[in-house]
């Protein structure tokens, strides 16, 4: 099952990486989003791929918003973000 290609434009979520440095530790937006739009993953260099990554260290994890098709622009993520790193634009 899937939805039809309606041509609806999805909200654009921009994340300021300068401000959002420890998303796995913070995790506020990830858990506040009603439709689970966000995703967090570790960033690792090839030689470090077997290492455990400390979520407290800046830049070890990076936040993204892949499922914008489910974003309702409710702004709950913006409300909970402690560093004001998120912006949502509705086309």
Catalog residues that contact another protein under the rule CB under 8 A. 1-10, 23-24, 27, 30-31, 35-36, 38-42, 44, 49-53, 55, 64, 66-70
Count of Cβ atoms closer than 10 Å to residue 59 Cβ = 12
30 vs 78 by CB, closer to another protein: 30
Kindly give, in sequence order, each residue whose CB lies less than 8 Å from that of residue 29, ignoring residues fewer than 6 positions away.
Answer: 23, 38, 63, 77, 80, 81, 86
Smallest gap from Cβ 7 to another protein, in A, equals 3
Q: φ and ψ at 62, to 5 degrees?
A: -130, 140
6 vs 89 by CB, closer to another protein: 6
Candidates 68, 55, 66, 51; CA nearest to 21 is 55
Smallest gap from Cβ 49 to another protein, in A, equals 8
Smallest gap from Cβ 29 to another protein, in A, equals 9
């Amino acid at each position: 099952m899937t939805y039809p290609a309606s041509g609806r434009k999805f909200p654009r979520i921009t994340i300021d990486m300068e401000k959002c440095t420890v998303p796995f530790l913070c995790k506020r937006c990830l858990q506040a989003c009603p439709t689970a739009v966000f995703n967090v993953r570790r960033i690792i260099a090839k030689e470090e791929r077997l290492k455990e990554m400390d979520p407290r260290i800046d830049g070890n994890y990076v936040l993204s918003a892949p499922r914008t098709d489910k974003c309702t622009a409710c702004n709950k993520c913006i409300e909970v973000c402690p560093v004001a790193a998120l912006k949502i634009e509705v086309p």
